[in-house]
Structure 1
Amino acid sequence: MNKTLMASLLALALTGCASSQSDQPFSLTLAHINDTQSHFDADDVRLSFANKAVYTRAGGSARVFNYANQLREQAHTNNQAFLFLHAGDAWQGSGYFTQHKGAMNADILSRMQLDAMTLGEREFALDNRHLASFIEQVDFPVLAANLDARQDADLQAVENLQPYVLYAFKGNKKKRVASVKDAGKSPVVAVLGLVRQDMATAGKQVGQLSFEQEVSRAQSTVNALKEQGVSHIVALTHLGLERDNQLAQKVNGIDVIVGGHAQGLLGDFTALGGTKNEPYARRFTNPDGRGSTCVVQSGQFGQAIGKVTVTFTYDGRVSQCEGGNTLLVDQQFYTDVRRNDTQRVSEQQQQSIMAAIADADADNIAIVAEDKSLQQYIAKEYQPALLKAYGKVIGVVPQTLAHAQLPVTGKSSQVAPLVAASQLYWLNTQGVQSVTGRQADFSLVAASAINQGVEIGAIKAGQISMELLPGNNPISLVSLTGHQVAGLLLEAINGAIAPNADGGSFPYVAGLRYQFNETSRGRGYLSRIEYARNGQWTRLDPNTQYQVALTGFHALANGGGQTLFDAQQVLTDRIDLAYVNGNLAAFPVARLSKNAQGAIEVNYINQPLNCQQAQVSCNTPAYAFTDYVRDNRPALTALAEPGISLNRL
């Protein structure tokens, strides 16, 4: 158990259930965001009014801060309790994070006057030293009741990492307290944090942390809080909507779950050209059949903010839970995503849009100015370095391109097939072929090689290397037989769809197409594998050698398992491609081997490839994608045929 949690529960036990808490009805307003992913600037968005597409900017820290302040002021005017919460995944997702490693997040989030935050998987993108620094720098508590940090050298002594926090309210005024006893007759709200129980197996940098089961730890923490006399409990989670809904039905005593990770914007946004997702503020009956829990989430990137008002009965149960997500947009609209002055909507259309937004029924969107002070601070302290690193515009994305690990109905990757296509294109350009001396037949890309989707708007070279493909794994070119390719695909797919797998090994392709049929949970067979030969789809021959492009995950046999390791164990012809002092170079590989700990090692024929050297750049996937967009697809849209048929049970 977490050392801090042990101390907190001991304090609860010592306090006992005696409490002088008021039995008067109580109302609490929660403003909340999640999955902001270092999107401190506003994003381009496509909306629809009167069936006409228009483009504007949404979100950004300065706009979210301004709207949160408006909600604070409303609560102050109504003398109502108010909290502003972040449900995790504040980190990795933009060039800002690449440059500042969490320090900017600590700075800006503190300036936004949050009252608490929990941890998402992106907070574990680096190592616990960076995470500890972030938690120590922020001026609000970071909550995780089911995280045990006692064995971790970096986080075990971080006092600001807590299982929960208590706030006592006197009207709109709040005070952080150590116990209900310290609050006197003032109502107390407990906010407890929950992180994913499977974080340690999700490929994150968790050090020596351990993660306890979400439901059991939530219930034991709630029970201890109730014993002290806390009547109002909020769970701040980063589990995903489905697990939040399950939590509400398996744990007694949580009044509100403010969640993250799902990223979908709860509510109906079809009138704005968006989608209709699950309702906001859905209530579930607890296992005891007496209490109920209200579940809310906002969207992603800080484009919207959620607001829920919870009213409690005299005995502390939820009687009402109402609110919604509000998309925060700029006041200027355009007919094109490039948003040039000549592309502004007409004055008549502008007035029509403003009237639609001002409509009393359109409470899911609001025109909100950016907080001037925070916007100027970001523009002065952080933007110049980022804009320099981003470089020139190489294309435009008319519609957001989504990325998901597995291609299932309604949720697939539009980005991974483009990345695979870019590598096949790049390898077969004249300049690259002069280095490799080979013609690539097809390309395989692991889903985990892509960091995120591609948002609508202009796309710059630096965004590709810093956000979309930020890794340091080179493109590899290796000879494999058709039989070996089939084995690689089978092992990678079975590994990706196995129970509890994260899908990271799933192979997306270019110049190749296949059909996989699942026959039992996490297992199946390939019914078709074809490659494009002279513009015609041709069945892959088991005995023919093909030149296959791979990224680091597959090339190191992590996703292809034993088949790919065996294929490179003796006298492989694989070459890894990287830039040295700005010039493309090939690094021939002799074979793969395993060290005493079982880790795979690459043995080079001549000079080893050291991606940590200052003059070496191994991120050839980013170079390939940049060239592909600039040369072939300056208007970047999804491919019509991704080449994959995945038939799940």
Structure 2
Amino acid sequence: MNKTLLAGLMALALAGCASKPPEQPFTLTLAHINDTHSHFDPTDARVTLGKQTVFTRLGGYPRLLSQAKALRQQAELNEQPLLFVHGGDAWQGTGYFKLNRGAMNADALSQMQLDAMALGEHEFALDNGRLSAFVQGVNFPVLAANLDASQDPDLQGLDNLKPYVLYAFDGNEKEQVETVDDAGKRPVVAVMGLVLEDMANLSPHVGKLRFEREVDSAQNTVRALREQGVKHIVAVTHLGLERDRHLAQKVNGIDLIVGGHSHSLLGDFGNLGWGSGEPYARRFNNPDGIGTTCVVQAGRFAQAMGQVSVTFTPNGRVSRCEGGNTLLSDNVFYRDIRRGDKYRLSEAQQQRLRAAIEAEPNISMVAEDSALRAHIDKQYRPALVNAYGDEVGHVPLALTHVELPVEGRGSQIAPLVAASQLYWVNSPQVQAVTGRRADFALVAAGAVRNSLEPGVLKEGNVGLELLPFGNPISLVSLTGRQVAGLLLETINAALSSDAHTGRFPYGAGLRYSFNETSRGRGYLNRIEYLDNGQWQRIEPDARYQLALDGYHASGNEGWNTLFDSQQVFTDRLDLAFVNGKPAVFPVARLSKNVRGAIEVHYFNRPLDCKKAGVTCNTDARALIDYVRTRRPVLTALPESGVALNRL
């Protein structure tokens, strides 16, 4: 070839390369929610605006939908890629779930136009047949990379239950694709799901599912995605904030973790009187020392929505990750939680508060989506109102439930639940069938699902909302040494940074003092029980009768001492109603199956809560009877019995 011509062609080629625009960074926005727990309606809330404390309502599904639509519209105008995901635990929490058993969740969530959802432990609250119907009933993928459903007859082979899903973007337009090759030159984002590896210990209804190690499964999934050519990986998890951070520091290649389970409202909400949470969108170094992973979570009960923006370098590294959670507020305010016209603030005061909200970065007034509101009110709410049943008593002042005591203030409700169980098992009609008297009762904080607002208390407020799990009460004997061990293991497990605080124990007829000596660790310097009106020291070798719900009596959720003490033989009695009368079901022993789930073995007849005439929710019935007969005006007990001295 002529050298002059060759030189000219090379010059043109070089000029073309020089004029080619550099590859632009890819920015992805994610809207996210988690732990919505069937809170389709808004929840009453207290907020501080300026120096004024007021009451309003937050969240609910129609408000979430309005916020999601607004974010989609904004992303469309800006031609910005957007995903909307749910971090799991959509199930349980309100009477809606008890009545509709997952069907309402599938209906309402499908209207949200989610792009993915992780499975939480409460999605396993019923049985895998119900879960299968939910997975097949929603219009978005349900994700769990560390779930092996191949041996489970209900969940195996479901097209909509996936380890991950791929989305290809062209500006704001997205398409779910099977492979990177299907995307062409469009950027691809993989969204993978992770569930709790110890699910079998948290839920008794996992069927033949197997749950793999979170870290190992995540790294293997990331490796497979990278080999396909995926540059951008989001993990939607239901592990809790502490495990999410552990995951970020043990796995290479996850760019963003959108979590749930620990109900962490990340960000500083001190401006609203809610205190300061952990930072939102904090980044953690991967073990290779090169990559970073950003971690976010958005509280609980459909009160808030998170929005995080992640910018990637051309080679797929995270260069920027920022955003925040926004509480979604009504625009009407009251001076009392009882709301009502006489407590409503004047219009001038309303206007000042609305202006104050406009000036705050982490709360926004959002109108409910009218179509979804009307659908809930017509299709589901009438049955809910009807199901709440008879009046039990009255709550004159709000009773708050917090799982872990903060600055000496713990739950006002968990001690009442414990007191009701102690009262019920020691009532003449129950003692007639057990032949025993309980010395004290314990309640795990996570067994109580919500606070109580002032007003009428109905049966449904207890059985459908406060104690919705339908657990029998159990009587089991422990030595004083085992009681101390149980308290130590559950307190320590609840105190570690961002742990699952639902393990924390409250009691009745029992009081203790715990001193923390290092972060998340400490010792008991006093354990006493009430004996004939006098507080007595728990003796290490003496045996005591403990009342508690059957779920924790089996050692679930980290109450391991109870499982360990019942593997060979136990004198435990489970209490249920048979044809409306208290009945005893003696337990022989406990064991674990090959999947790690705890199994209860009964003498003679097993306790079958699905059998006609059998009612298992003695935990809720005990509180209903206690309020009706002993405390019709329900107020907090004088003391909780818990003295928690933290560093």
Q: State the TM bucket, normalised to the shorter chain.
A: 0.7 to 0.9
Contact kept, 8 Å, 1:148 with 1:209, in 2: the verdict is yes
Count residues with an aligned counterpart: 612
Range 501-510 or range 72-81, more displaced: 501-510
Contact kept, 8 Å, 1:449 with 1:551, in 2: the verdict is no
Contact kept, 8 Å, 1:488 with 1:561, in 2: the verdict is no
Instruction: Name 2:383's counterpart in structure 1.
Output: 385
CA distance in 2, matches of 1:472, 1:434: 21
In structure 1, give the amino acid aligned to 2:422. L
CA distance in 2, matches of 1:530, 1:510: 11
The SS at the match of 1:322 is strand
How far off its partner does 1:491 sit? Answer: 5.4
Instruction: Name 1:256's counterpart in structure 2.
Output: 256
In structure 1, give the amino acid aligned to 2:626. Y
CA distance in 2, matches of 1:383, 1:280: 35
**Mapping of 1:386-535 within 5 angstroms?**
386-392=384-390, 394-396=393-395, 398-399=397-398, 401-402=400-401, 404=403, 414-426=412-424, 442-447=439-444, 450-454=447-451, 456=453, 459-475=457-473, 486-487=480-481, 489-490=483-484, 492-493=486-487, 496=490, 508-515=506-513, 528-533=526-531, 535=533
Give unmatched runs, 5+ long, in structure 1.
1-21
CA distance in 2, matches of 1:545, 1:364: 52
Instruction: Name 2:106's counterpart in structure 1.
Output: 106
Contact kept, 8 Å, 1:45 with 1:456, in 2: the verdict is no
Change in 2 beyond 3 A, CA 1:245/1:309: same
**Mapping of 1:224-263 within 5 angstroms?**
224-263=224-263
Contact kept, 8 Å, 1:449 with 1:469, in 2: the verdict is no
Contact kept, 8 Å, 2:141 with 2:160, in 1: the verdict is yes
CA distance in 1, matches of 2:570, 2:136: 46
Change in 2 beyond 3 A, CA 1:543/1:294: closer
Q: Deviations over 1:138-167 (max 9, x none)?
A: 111111122222222222211111111111
The SS at the match of 1:219 is helix
Q: Deviations over 1:72-123 (max 9, x none)?
A: 0000111111111111111122222222221211111111110111111111
In structure 1, give the amino acid aligned to 2:47. L
**Mapping of 1:183-332 within 5 angstroms?**
183-332=183-332
Range 322-331 or range 515-524, more displaced: 515-524
CA distance in 2, matches of 1:119, 1:146: 11
Instruction: Name 2:54's counterpart in structure 1.
Output: 54
Correspondence 1:367 to 2:365: yes
Change in 2 beyond 3 A, CA 1:567/1:117: closer
TM-score by length of 2: 0.82
Q: Deviations over 1:491-521 (max 9, x none)?
A: 5436646889989887642123245789999
Q: Deviations over 1:393-452 (max 9, x none)?
A: 643485563353x779889655332211123345667x8589679996743134288252
The SS at the match of 1:167 is strand
Instruction: Name 1:89's counterpart in structure 2.
Output: 89
The SS at the match of 1:152 is coil
Range 323-332 or range 118-127, more displaced: 118-127
Correspondence 1:74 to 2:69: no
The SS at the match of 1:168 is strand
CA distance in 2, matches of 1:168, 1:176: 6
CA distance in 2, matches of 1:457, 1:29: 40
Correspondence 1:593 to 2:588: yes
Correspondence 1:351 to 2:338: no
How far off its partner does 1:375 sit? Answer: 0.8
* Identical-residue share of aligned pairs (%): 55
In structure 1, give the amino acid aligned to 2:168. A
Q: Deviations over 1:283-329 (max 9, x none)?
A: 22333333322211101011000011222233332222221100001
Change in 2 beyond 3 A, CA 1:104/1:595: closer
CA distance in 1, matches of 2:480, 2:590: 27
Correspondence 1:628 to 2:626: yes
Change in 2 beyond 3 A, CA 1:409/1:155: farther
Give unmatched runs, 5+ long, in structure 2.
1-21, 594-598
Instruction: Name 1:9's counterpart in structure 2.
Output: none
Contact kept, 8 Å, 2:554 with 2:590, in 1: the verdict is no
The SS at the match of 2:331 is coil
Contact kept, 8 Å, 1:31 with 1:84, in 2: the verdict is yes
Instruction: Name 1:13's counterpart in structure 2.
Output: none
Range 226-235 or range 613-622, more displaced: 613-622
CA distance in 1, matches of 2:212, 2:567: 35
Instruction: Name 2:169's counterpart in structure 1.
Output: 169
CA distance in 2, matches of 1:127, 1:549: 27
How far off its partner does 1:587 sit? Answer: 3.9
How far off its partner does 1:133 sit? Answer: 1.6
The SS at the match of 2:205 is coil
Q: Deviations over 1:509-541 (max 9, x none)?
A: 212324578999999997644333564434468
CA distance in 2, matches of 1:562, 1:187: 52
Instruction: Name 1:11's counterpart in structure 2.
Output: none
Q: Deviations over 1:199-250 (max 9, x none)?
A: 2333442222222222232223223322322222211111111222222223
CA distance in 1, matches of 2:396, 2:90: 24
Change in 2 beyond 3 A, CA 1:391/1:543: same
CA distance in 1, matches of 2:311, 2:537: 64
Which of the residues 524, 535, 538 maps onto 1:537?
Answer: 535
CA distance in 1, matches of 2:561, 2:454: 33
The SS at the match of 2:82 is strand
CA distance in 2, matches of 1:270, 1:521: 24
In structure 1, give the amino acid aligned to 2:156. Q
Contact kept, 8 Å, 1:449 with 1:471, in 2: the verdict is no
Contact kept, 8 Å, 1:198 with 1:211, in 2: the verdict is yes
Contact kept, 8 Å, 2:493 with 2:503, in 1: the verdict is no
How far off its partner does 1:632 sit? Answer: 5.6
How far off its partner does 1:564 sit? Answer: 7.7
Contact kept, 8 Å, 1:48 with 1:271, in 2: the verdict is yes
CA distance in 1, matches of 2:543, 2:296: 54
How far off its partner does 1:595 sit? Answer: 9.7
CA distance in 2, matches of 1:635, 1:270: 33
Change in 2 beyond 3 A, CA 1:518/1:85: closer
CA distance in 2, matches of 1:241, 1:287: 18
Instruction: Name 2:138's counterpart in structure 1.
Output: 138
How far off its partner does 1:609 sit? Answer: 7.8
Q: Deviations over 1:440-467 (max 9, x none)?
A: 6743134288252335465532131123
Contact kept, 8 Å, 1:487 with 1:563, in 2: the verdict is no
CA distance in 1, matches of 2:566, 2:284: 48
Instruction: Name 1:8's counterpart in structure 2.
Output: none
Change in 2 beyond 3 A, CA 1:520/1:207: farther
Instruction: Name 1:159's counterpart in structure 2.
Output: 159
The SS at the match of 2:528 is strand
